[in-house]
Amino acid sequence: MGLLSGKYKPSESCHDGAGDGRIQALKSSGLASLRDKFTPRNWAIVSAVELVAREHDLSMAQVAIQWTVRRPAVGSVILGARTMAQFEDNLVALERSLPDEALRRLDAVSALPQQFPYSFFEQAQQERLHGGAAVGDKPDGYHAPVRVAASDVGATHSLVAADPR
């Protein structure tokens, strides 16, 4: 589609891709697979990519590739270039790293809202459930169980030892 490649720049074509061209045809096509592509959230992401690209003297495609490459859950990135110039531009993204602050900004603008059941793990919900204690806090006097590896005791399974007190 070209949203993160720089084909559509919010600074040049309004904040939501308004204007002539292929994007308008796509927006008005009625295709179910495109309904969720042209959302205010997605345009905010495109705008943030454009801003980071301008700040760091990179193309939007380079920012998008660098952002993707640096995601912990991503094992590889497939470059989708139509021309040799696009391919060479994409390769530059692998030579220049974005600062962590820029990546945090992109992560923040693209973060999905917490949905059930994950919202139960947010701090505010945990405080309501547990009376104000921070998530992960243990009461005074709490001692973690002592774990003994099976190889240390000659057994086939791990054992949990009783509190030595």
- Return the percentage of the chain with pLDDT > 90, whole number: 25
CA distance 99 to 118: 29
Q: Structural domain boundaries of the chain?
A: 10-110
- Say if residue 117 is preceded by a cis peptide, omega within 30 of 0: yes
Predicted TM-score of the model (pTM): 0.61
Predicted confidence band of residue 24 (pLDDT cuts 50, 70, 90): low
- Reported as a single tens digit per residue, the pLDDT across 29-64 is 667 666 677 778 888 999 999 999 999 999 999 999
Per the CB < 8 A criterion, the answer to whether 53 and 85 are in contact is no
Average pLDDT over residues 10-29: 59
pLDDT of 105 reads 96
Residue 81 DSSP class:
-
pLDDT of 150 reads 60
